[in-house]
Amino acid sequence: KMATQPQQPPQLHLAELTAVQFIDIWKHFDVDGNGYIEGKELENFFSELENARRGAGMDPSHATFKEKMKEFMASFDKNSDGRIEMSELAQILPTEENFLICFREFVGSSSEFMAAWRKYDTDRSGYIESNELKGFLSDLLKKANRNYEDKKLNEYTQTILNMFDLNGDGKLGLSEMARLLPVQENFLLKFQGIRLTVKEFDSIFTFYDQDGNGCIDEQELDALLKDLCDKS
């Protein structure tokens, strides 16, 4: 194997990636850090992937390039939004017993994810502190019937921190962590792009707050989420 030179992009042709290498690759291509590889980033990624796999890249302006990229996206862009997200990339790149893939396959439901989340986000702030993250991951992996030795768990915890704690405040947000869920299961993604005026918000809130106590309890919230998911 060639020695990795720091100025080169992360090696896409390795037979197996560790979680850390996976994140290096993610960060290398998600240049603007918005959680997606899209537009020009996507062209760069596909070009380098082709290069790594076939030993020869292709000119992005070439018609064949666009055609091949279309086929590639048809296979891996599961929610057909024209961009690659972290969980989709986890399926493209061969990764060692990858915790991301493990999450997708075994912690495949929003309800399991939320049950583990609530245990740690005790003040319901939508964040868990980084020092609680190890316990959170450990709980999720137990649900998945996966046993990891402590060393691996520490590596995964550190990797998740590198991934999501972009502003270095030692907290991890629910909406960011939920990116680990499979696309079709990820109810939080369904909220993205919804913009409401105050008036619209109030009328929706009133509609679901059936007992009029100013709070939406669990049953009322279930109704709201069910309607939202059906609508999506």
| pLDDT tens digits for range 174-213 | 877 766 665 555 555 556 666 667 777 777 778 888 888 8
The pLDDT value recorded for residue 41 is 92
- Whether 7 is covered by a domain: the verdict is no
73 lies in a domain?
A: no
Residues 132 and 211 in one domain: no
How far apart, in whole angstroms, are the C-alpha atoms of residue 225 and residue 158?
Answer: 32
**Which of helix, strand or coil describes residue 51?**
helix
In a domain? residue 17 = no
> What would the two tokens of residue 227 be?
């309607």
pLDDT over 50 (residue 129): yes
Residue 164 lies in a domain: yes
Indicate if 150 and 224 belong to the same structural domain.
no
Comparing CA positions, the residue from 156, 168, 157 lying closest to residue 132 is: 157
Q: How many helices (H) and strands (E) does the chain have?
A: 12, 4
Per the domain annotation, does 60 fall within a domain?
no
Distance between CA atoms of 174 and 156, rounded to whole angstroms?
Answer: 17
pLDDT averaged over the chain?
A: 75
Q: pLDDT digit string (tens) for 81-128?
A: 899 987 778 777 766 555 555 555 555 566 777 778 888 888 888 888
Please report which confidence band the pLDDT of residue 6 belongs to, taking 50, 70 and 90 as the band edges.
very low
Q: Report pTM.
A: 0.51
- DSSP reduced 3-state for 48: helix
DSSP assigned state of 10: P
In a shared domain, residues 172 and 220: no
State percent of the chain over pLDDT 90.
Answer: 4
Q: Tens digits of per-residue pLDDT, 68-84?
A: 889 989 988 888 889 99
Q: Same structural domain for residues 134 and 199?
A: no
Write the CATH number for 157: 1.10.238.10
Domain range for residue 162?
99-186
120 plus 177 within the same structural domain? yes
Q: How many CB atoms lie within 10 A of CB 110?
A: 18
**Together in a domain, 135 and 175:** yes
What is the model's pLDDT at position 38?
A: 92
The reply to whether 171 falls in a domain is yes
Tokens of 22: 């996976």
Alpha carbons 184 and 79: distance in angstroms, whole number: 8
Q: Please give the backbone phi and psi of residue 176, each rounded to the nearest 5 degrees, phi first.
A: -70, -45
**Locus of tokens 């709201």:** 224
Examine the domain organization and report whether 163 and 107 are in the same domain: yes
How is residue 198 written in tokens? 């105050």
Mean pLDDT within 132-136: 86
5: in domain: no
pLDDT of residue 55: 64
My answer on whether 207 and 178 are in the same domain is no
Asked if residue 200 and residue 167 are part of one domain, the reply reads no
Domain count, the chain: 2
Clarify whether residues 199 and 178 are in a common domain: no
Same structural domain for residues 159 and 181?
A: yes
Does any domain span residue 31? Answer: no
Which contiguous run of DSSP H or E holds residue 19?
Answer: helix 19-29
147 and 168 together in one domain: yes
